[in-house]
Amino acid sequence: MSTPPADPHLPAVHPRPPRNWINDPNGLVFHDGHYHVFFQYNPYAPQHANVHWGHFRSRDLITWEPLPVALAPTPGGDDADGCYSGNAISTDGRLLAFYSANRTGRWWQPVTTAESYDGGHTWAKRPELLIPQPPAGTTMYRDPYVWRQDGRWRMLVGSALADGRGAALLYESDDLENWEYRGPFHASSPADTADPAGWECPQYATFGDRGVLIVSDWTPQGGPSHVTVHTGHEEHGRFATAAPPVRLDHGPDFYAPALLKAPEEDRWLLWGWAWEARDDSWAHEAGWAGVLTLPRELTLADDGTVAQRPARELLALRGERVLHRTGHVTRSRPVELGEVGRTFDLTAVLTPDPTGTGGLRLVTSADGTEYLDIDLDPTAGRLTVDRSRASLDARARAGTYTVPCPVAPIPGTPVELRVIVDRSIVEIYLSTGQVLTLRFYPVGDGPWRLQAHTAGTGGSDFTVEAWDLNPVGIRQEPLLASQQQDA
Ligand code: FRU
């Protein structure tokens, strides 16, 4: 297999194949001592077409092993135009995947299944569709999510209702074969639906008798938009929410996350898809598009807030500590903190300057004209990420994005951040649980360096530490069934 050309934007610690297209994480399941991560994958081109299920597995969430492509469209079959998203369960010594069978021209993607008795190396598809038709009154239908609860199997399917609401439809089964439709588990409220919406990729986590429903908001006009999280509890087969939905990730490039129930009690892991934020022509030249986020732990606090943190295992990716600085910065003079590599993990404790915004700048060109800004805005109570100057190449998307930072306005209270940068993706985690994921494409001549700065008159205290991350990226393309026979 030929080695791909060095690409400064290809992530090193975020698993993805070295080339071609990926989108949603799928089929996340712990089975046979491994975390299995499948994903929407076009093995032939860096564009969304001919979608297969690629497959990685890991024992420790650190080292990933590419496995053969799990599901491929069957020519002439119900999934001839794509094995679309779904999940998987581990039951009776087998992996059972539920997925959306795509045919061009059919507006719904029926639910179908495939099973594997050898840990996901080989798969047998069920000959018939499992749920061939959507219920009446729907205008979009795909992405099954199956889980076990209270002695029964349950399934959510993403949908849009004819009245313009997005919905997660509920099915139940005793035997995984016969599924009874129970109606919408939850739907967007009419107030949210000035524009018709659909919900893709519903995911459901339980914490005792409380639940967290995650949906990917999609519109017929604009396609994928953003991800919302609904918290509440179940009442007679319906999800009763305790508060209005909020965004799961505040960045512009995060979509279709999926949950994995870890073997430990109440431990939920989550991966999302971070799409490209550059012109298609550039992704085409690079030969790849899309990346999965790092695994995150999802928790539900007593007050009903959902928090995300990088999975604790990721600390093991840290190599050399390249930077450790404590100090004070004033408006007149930014502080040079030192150089970092292109893949690093950073922690920062910043005491906001109440008189103005301030924070960190990642400078990626020697002359300082290319940079990404991460700033606290204490007056507005938020963290701002500005990528307007993060690439000297006009084919990269610009823009400023914000994430609520509840402690920023409290005078003298330090804000703790964790920032994981991997060549063209940054994941910013606040210690209070909010996250922002964003893509950026530096082309400057580097080296990369960090600065602390402030626009306020009061000055700001900081402590910043950064570690190089050891590359563990997947450097091999998953084999297709035809290649396995040749191998
Ligand atoms: C979400 C999504 C799913 C669909 C899959 C197709 O990004 O559109 O609804 O199953 O991607 O690749």
- Identify whether residues 302 and 405 lie together within a single domain: no
The domain of 373 spans 319-469
- Identify whether residues 263 and 380 lie together within a single domain: no
Number of domains in the chain: 2
pTM for the predicted model, two decimal places:
0.96
Domain boundary among 257, 282, 313: 313
pLDDT digits (tens, 9 = 90+) for 419-459: 999 999 999 999 999 999 999 999 999 899 999 999 999 99
Q: Residue 374 belongs to a domain with what CATH number? A: 2.60.120.560
Compute the distance from residue 87 Cα to the ligand 1 centre, in Å.
12
Q: What span, in angstroms and rounded, lies between the C-alpha atoms of 348 and 325?
A: 10
- Identify whether residues 169 and 248 lie together within a single domain: yes
Dihedral Cα 28, 290, 19, 125, nearest 10 deg: 40
Q: What are phi and psi of 377, to 5 degrees?
A: -120, 90
- Identify whether residues 115 and 184 lie together within a single domain: yes
Residue 305: pLDDT over 50:
yes
The pLDDT value given to residue 193: 56
Lowest mean pLDDT among 138-152, 194-208, 240-254: 194-208
Q: What are phi and psi of 208, to 5 degrees?
A: 60, -130
- CA angle (314, 349, 440) in 5-degree steps: 60
- Cα distances from 346 to residues 122, 364, 466, in angstroms, run 40, 16, 4
Task: Tell the burial category of 462 from Cβ atoms under 10 Å away from its Cβ (0-12, 13-18, 19+).
Answer: buried
Which residue of 169, 201, 217, 293 sits with most ligand 1 atoms within 8 Å of its CB, as the best mutation to test the pocket?
201
Tokens of 242: 């305790």
Domain boundary among 313, 345, 373: 313
pLDDT digits (tens, 9 = 90+) for 262-297: 999 889 999 999 999 999 999 999 999 999 999 999
Does residue 253 carry a catalytic annotation? no
Pocket lining: 113 vs ligand 1, CB cutoff 6 Å = no
**Pairing assessment for the beta strands 210-219 and 198-207 based on DSSP bridges:** antiparallel
Q: Which amino acid is at 391?
A: S
Tokens of 422: 């991997």
Residues of the chain above pLDDT 90, percent? 89
Please check whether residue 10 lies inside any domain of the structure: no
Q: Is the CB of residue 81 less than 8 Å from the CB of residue 104? A: yes
* Mean per-residue pLDDT, 345-365: 95
Query: How confident is the prediction for the chain on average, in pLDDT?
Result: 94
The pLDDT value given to residue 473: 64
- Identify whether residues 285 and 336 lie together within a single domain: no
- Identify whether residues 297 and 414 lie together within a single domain: no
Q: Please provide the DSSP assignment of 364-396 as one string.
A: -STTS-SEEEEEEETTTTEEEEE-TTS-SSTTB
Which residue of 20, 21, 22, 24 sits with most ligand 1 atoms within 8 Å of its CB, as the best mutation to test the pocket?
24
Q: Choose among 110, 131, 300: nearest CA to 214.
A: 300
- Of ligand 1's atoms, which has the minimum distance to the CA of residue 216? 1
Q: Residue 232 belongs to a domain with what CATH number? A: 2.115.10.20
Please check whether residue 36 lies inside any domain of the structure: yes
Compute the distance from residue 376 Cα to the ligand 1 centre, in Å.
34
Compute the distance from residue 334 Cα to the ligand 1 centre, in Å.
44
Q: What are phi and psi of 38, to 5 degrees?
A: -100, 165
Please check whether residue 420 lies inside any domain of the structure: yes
Q: Choose among 481, 479, 475, 480: nearest CA to 16.
A: 475
Give the residues across from 111 on adjacent strands.
100, 131
pLDDT digits (tens, 9 = 90+) for 378-422: 999 999 999 999 999 999 999 999 999 988 888 889 999 999 999
- Identify whether residues 53 and 146 lie together within a single domain: yes
- Identify whether residues 139 and 285 lie together within a single domain: yes
Please check whether residue 5 lies inside any domain of the structure: no
Which residue of 142, 199, 215 sits with most ligand 1 atoms within 8 Å of its CB, as the best mutation to test the pocket?
142
Helix or strand (DSSP H, E) at 280 = helix 280-286
- Identify whether residues 149 and 58 lie together within a single domain: yes
Domain boundary among 266, 293, 313: 313
Compute the distance from residue 143 Cα to the ligand 1 centre, in Å.
7
Pocket lining: 200 vs ligand 1, CB cutoff 6 Å = yes
**CA-closest residue to ligand 1 atom 6:** 84
Looking at 7, 24, 279, 422, which residue is catalytic?
A: 24
Tokens of 207: 């914490």
